[in-house]
Chains A and B, each alone.
Chain A
Amino acid sequence: MNDIKADEKKSFSITKRYLFFSLLFSACGVCLLLVSYFQYKSSSCEKMMNEAVREGEIKIPAAYQAGRWAIYLVKNANLCCHPLLGYEKIKSSDRTRVAIFVSNDYTDNDIENFKDAFQVPAAHRVARLKDFDLMNLKDICGYKAESQYNILMLLKPDSTVELLRRF
């Protein structure tokens, strides 16, 4: 009697185990798919950017062709909830030049307060978005004027886009 019960228990636990492992594997699979999808999406944007640069659709101005550049397009940033992505690290790198383009509705006082809050060094350029000379990238990567997202773009010295991230 006890053996039968033990067998039942064993067979039940094996089924349960199969179910558990199959669920686990499918969850991992979904996660992997999602990760690869987002990676593809972000890299595809960078690829498309680079293709457009190569084909001459986007002309990187000469000012950005010397050295490595970090370009921020800022709609809404603050220290607590929307910090500038990777800015502390970029700030500490001597080789990376930085240009920050804020929304056109930033007043002069807003720009001063922004510089003060983020401790922007004098060498980093802060200007309004209307002065940004690479605006046609928005058509490629879905950066719309009405969106609330900020963008970080890293440009290599050879004028290729190394990274393009929304934050």
Chain B
Amino acid sequence: MPQIPLIIITYRDVFQWVANQRRVEHLPSVRISESDLNELGIADGDRVKFSNAAGSIVVQAKLDQDCRRGFGYMPISPYSNRLVSYDGSRARLPNFKRIEVLAQAYCDETG
């Protein structure tokens, strides 16, 4: 399966805030460009796995025609935080809003 580098940009989403207040479970998702979807060999709504040195997560990929190639937009959440790293000797702040990952299509082997 092809792997491609993506930069995940996180943001605050009011609907996610409301879902959290109502304790509604929601599948984390990322919005990416059509060309990145094609390169990953997945369709709108399929799952994608993001990995980096901090960890890995599986999220739903959604097509966003306005998204730049090479980037992914994702509401900030405990899921995106699994990919965030912090090393006070290299940066003042954790990279909460700009996370470099390797992306690949996710196939659930348990079926």
Q: Do A and B come from one complex?
A: no
